């Protein structure tokens, strides 16, 4: 029987449902539709469903708009509400709902469980279910498999197929990375792995077969590796600040070693994945007394506070107080050239500065998020009459900043706090700015602490 499903997949004769039409789910739906499958993108939000059915992408992701408009037009892609009950005709279901963490850093599976309730009710023999949401180790075996089996009365890897296929796409490059990044496929049994691998081979250049738990841990390991490395770069930046040395120079020199690749320091780690995935990895871990993963989280979470300290230091040097200063914050997106501000380090920085009574104005060319501060429509509007400029995101527009013009618009004795290290410190100082960068503090340090 499994051969029949594989044959249908190869001939693109199956209908697919995507549960959860966010950045990942919608990109997945559009890519499978483009490959020739009939796809239904399901979501609980009517505004997403309506937008997609009008051929418009609700998400700003390069290439996605073209895929959606083309495939909606030719009838291969359709969006639907969960309540539309279109599931009954599905041959494969890809679940891509969010799996956040709770306040106490434990997995919050409520969205996933809701989605599984719907899947379980319509599950029939010979259907493939794959999960792309990020999961703590053993969630497939201990939570998802029993849930679907008990709801359907069917046996996984015998009656239906179940696999974990973690997404590995970076926002801002989702479509390209979906196709080009090797895709891990881990079934709860060998048949499940085989069927799911066949499905993903129709759209991904490389598919690597493994088991469900290995795939869960590999996915978490990737993001945790990055988080730990970023924390290392940040600690290095703090050490360099104390020694009045430029961390960028240190990283450049150290990276000339053939086995060293230090990441970039910055204002913290944001986005929907890196700040939570290390906690998912640690979910059931009991064995560690001194824990590098948790420590990295602490370092990364500390950085927004450090940026505020640099701002206060800069204002003090300019003989100004936070309460009487106008501060322009550039960037509320969590990283360069995306419109996503989830868990952005700009949020705590803006909140701390607002608490200190500062007058904050923010500008982001992609995001209309202000985190409680006034929002400017342009860079020049934001910097006009500001005492301090805080660069939080390295958007292209900010990397090409005309410092001279900015200097003219800002107040006398104005400062730059460069959390992304995109401004040349010498150039800034030559133009009369007081310059403070993460990992570069020229004028002593002691009174910051």
Q: Least Å distance between CB 299 and ligand SAJ? A: 11
Q: Least Å distance between CB 150 and ligand SAJ? A: 29
Per the CB < 8 A criterion, the answer to whether 41 and 18 are in contact is yes
Q: Is 306 in the site for ligand SAJ (CB under 6 A)?
A: no
Q: Least Å distance between CB 265 and ligand SAJ? A: 7
Residues 251-290 that bind ligand SAJ (CB under 6 A): 263-264, 266, 269-271, 273-274
Q: Is 395 in the site for ligand SAJ (CB under 6 A)?
A: no
Point out the catalytic residue in the list 219, 276, 335, 420. Answer: 219
Nearer to ligand SAJ, 159 or 301 (CB): 301
Is 430 marked active-site? no
Number of residues that bind ligand SAJ (CB under 6 A): 20
Among 60, 159, 209, 222, binds ligand SAJ (CB under 6 A): 222
Q: Is 152 in the site for ligand SAJ (CB under 6 A)?
A: no
Is 219 marked active-site? yes
Point out the catalytic residue in the list 273, 320, 335, 388. Answer: 273
Stretch near ligand SAJ under the rule CB under 6 A, chosen from 29-37, 107-115, 163-171, 199-207:
163-171
Nearer to ligand SAJ, 34 or 337 (CB): 337
Nearer to ligand SAJ, 161 or 279 (CB): 279
Among 76, 78, 145, 168, binds ligand SAJ (CB under 6 A): 168
Q: How far apart are the first and last CA of the chain?
A: 68
Q: Is 171 in the site for ligand SAJ (CB under 6 A)?
A: yes
Residues 326-365 that bind ligand SAJ (CB under 6 A): 334-335
Among 80, 169, 389, 392, binds ligand SAJ (CB under 6 A): 169
Catalytic residue list: 219, 273
- Interface ranges with ligand SAJ (CB under 6 A): 134, 167-171, 222-223, 226, 230, 263-264, 266, 269-271, 273-274, 334-335
């Amino acid at each position: 029987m499994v051969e029949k499903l594989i044959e249908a997949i190869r001939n693109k004769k199956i209908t697919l449902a995507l549960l959860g039409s966010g950045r990942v789910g919608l990109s997945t739906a559009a890519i499978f539709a483009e490959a020739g499958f009939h796809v239904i993108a399901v979501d609980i939000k009517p505004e997403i469903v309506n937008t997609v059915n009008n051929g418009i992408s609700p998400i700003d992701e390069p290439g996605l708009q073209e895929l959606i408009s083309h495939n909606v037009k030719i009838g291969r892609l359709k969006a639907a509400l969960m309540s539309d009950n279109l599931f009954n005709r599905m041959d494969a279901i890809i679940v891509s709902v969010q799996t956040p963490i709770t306040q106490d850093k434990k997995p919050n599976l409520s969205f996933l469980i809701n989605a599984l309730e719907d899947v379980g009710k319509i599950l029939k023999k010979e259907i493939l279910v794959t999960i792309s949401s990020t999961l703590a180790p053993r969630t497939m075996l201990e939570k998802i498999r029993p849930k679907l089996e008990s709801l359907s009365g069917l046996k996984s890897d015998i009656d239906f197929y179940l696999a974990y296929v973690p997404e590995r796409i970076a926002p801002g490059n989702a479509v390209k990375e979906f196709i080009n990044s090797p895709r891990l496929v881990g079934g709860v049994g060998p048949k499940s792995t085989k069927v799911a691998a066949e499905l993903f081979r129709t759209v991904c250049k490389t598919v690597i077969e493994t088991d469900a738990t290995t795939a869960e841990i590999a996915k978490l390991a990737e993001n945790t590796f990055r988080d730990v490395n970023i924390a290392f770069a940040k600690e290095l930046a703090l050490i360099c600040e104390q020694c009045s040395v430029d961390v960028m120079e240190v990283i450049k020199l150290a990276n000339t070693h053939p086995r060293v690749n230090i990441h970039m320091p910055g204002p913290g780690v944001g986005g929907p994945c890196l700040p939570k995935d290390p906690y998912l990895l640690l979910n059931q871990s009991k064995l560690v007394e001194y824990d590098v993963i948790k420590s990295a989280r602490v370092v990364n979470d500390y950085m927004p506070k450090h940026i505020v300290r640099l701002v206060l230091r800069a204002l003090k040097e300019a003989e100004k107080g936070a309460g009487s200063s106008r501060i322009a914050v550039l960037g509320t997106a969590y990283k360069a050239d995306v419109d996503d501000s989830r868990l952005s380090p700009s949020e705590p920085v803006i909140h701390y500065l607002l608490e200190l009574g500062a007058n904050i104005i923010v500008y982001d060319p992609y995001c209309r998020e202000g985190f409680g501060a006034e929002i400017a429509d342009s860079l020049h509007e934001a910097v006009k009459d500001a005492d301090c400029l805080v660069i939080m995101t390295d958007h292209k527009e900010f990397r090409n900043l005309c410092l001279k013009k900015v200097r003219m618009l800002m107040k006398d004795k104005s400062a730059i706090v460069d959390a992304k290290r995109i401004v040349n410190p010498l150039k800034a100082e030559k133009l009369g700015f007081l310059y403070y960068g993460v990992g570069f503090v020229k004028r002593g340090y002691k009174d910051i602490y």
